[in-house]
Structure 1
Amino acid sequence: MDFEIRESVLSDAEQLIEHKLIVTKENPDTLATLIENHYISINEQEETIENVGPNDYKRVAVVDGKIVGIINMKQDLRKKFEHIAQFGISVQQEYAGMGIGSRLIENALEFAKSNEFIEKVMLTVFSNNTGAIRLYERFGFEKEATLTNQVKLEEGYTDLIYMTQWIKK
């Protein structure tokens, strides 16, 4: 199945909300999103689409006109941390294993490497999300810190892992 990766546009707002609802429902123990505790209106989503800084990277993965994956990488705007960008990624389960997540990460890292400000890319991942951890490790991310029992789930707690990659040093 073919897929396209492109920038999101205002007309994607409704599909982006739907995507976030789907992946949150599919991954209740491995994903934390704002949509869990706050409904995102179309206007709020449109503002998010428009609010892309010059050193930010936001893309959607589309299959047959449907958004099935997203990646958002945002530069830290604080002076002492502006060399760092953090990203989050999600792909709907039905489309897992197609290379969508890999391509999204690959493209985001290419963007970061070509950006004059970004030197380090980081992400957070629940320790119970072993598939995602393996994917990030394949792309050169290393575990840098673990916050013990940082995430409260319905059936207990799990750790939050910070993974990083220096792309320029």
Structure 2
Amino acid sequence: MTPGARVRHAEPGDAAGLHALFAEPGAFAATLQLPYPSLAAWEKQLRDLPRHVVQLVAEVDGDGVVGAAGFEVFQSPRRRHVANLGMAVAPAYRGRGVGTQLLEAVIDTAERWHGVRRLELEVYADNAAAISLYGRHGFEREGLAREYALRDGAYVDVLLMARRARRL
């Protein structure tokens, strides 16, 4: 675990930290984010976050935001029990427990406070570390989507994974 890492709800003042996190090539290459994110876009997103979207950050004293995870609860009446998860950890903090802390906080918040019965995610099929992390937290592989996303000039596959709540 990373000593001193704290997970909390993202605030508008975190825009610069999230902007820096997702500007790192290792972060946007491992997510569906585009390179060169706009600081203004992060500021707007955090200022106007809808109630069905939860955005968490992990911060470390002296280093600021080192990870982020969030989920969006679907609003269709037939899918309100489902949310889609996304997360990223700064390359320097991978393998140090930050992802685990973020994922545990997301699962707890989604299931216990938003009534989410199913958390879904997409993860690049070659991201073994993330796949392992999700598997340790109850996510199961449900499918493979071929040429799902453009990454660095090539279309790559993603695994579709989901976790069903055990508490509700």
Shift of 1:9: 1.4
1:130 corresponds in structure 2 to 128
Shift of 1:110: 0.7
Q: Is the 8 A contact 1:55 1:115 kept in 2?
A: no
CA RMSD of aligned residues (A): 2.0
Matched length: 164
Which of 56, 61, 64 is the equivalent residue of 2:61?
A: 64
- Partner amino acid for 2:51? P
2:11 corresponds in structure 1 to 9
- Deviation per CA, 1:97-141: give whole Å up to 9, x if none: 221100100011111221353111011001011110011000000
Percentage of identical aligned residues: 24
Cα gap change, 1:46 to 1:6, in 2 (>3 Å): same
Shift of 1:51: 3.1
Shift of 1:50: 2.8
Q: Which deviates the most, 142-151 or 131-140?
A: 142-151
Q: Is the 8 A contact 1:30 1:128 kept in 2?
A: no
- Deviation per CA, 1:47-99: give whole Å up to 9, x if none: 21133343432111111141010001110112222111111110011111221
Q: Which deviates the most, 101-110 or 76-85?
A: 76-85
Cα gap change, 1:59 to 1:151, in 2 (>3 Å): same
Runs of 4+ in structure 1 displaced over 6 angstroms?
none
Instruction: Give 3-state SS (helix, strand or coil) of 1:81's partner.
Output: coil
- Deviation per CA, 1:8-50: give whole Å up to 9, x if none: 111111221111101xx0256533203x2x64242x2222113
1:49 corresponds in structure 2 to 46
Q: Is the 8 A contact 1:146 1:159 kept in 2?
A: yes
Whole-Å Cα distance in 2 between the matches of residues 52 and 78 of structure 1? 18
TM-score, length basis structure 2: 0.87
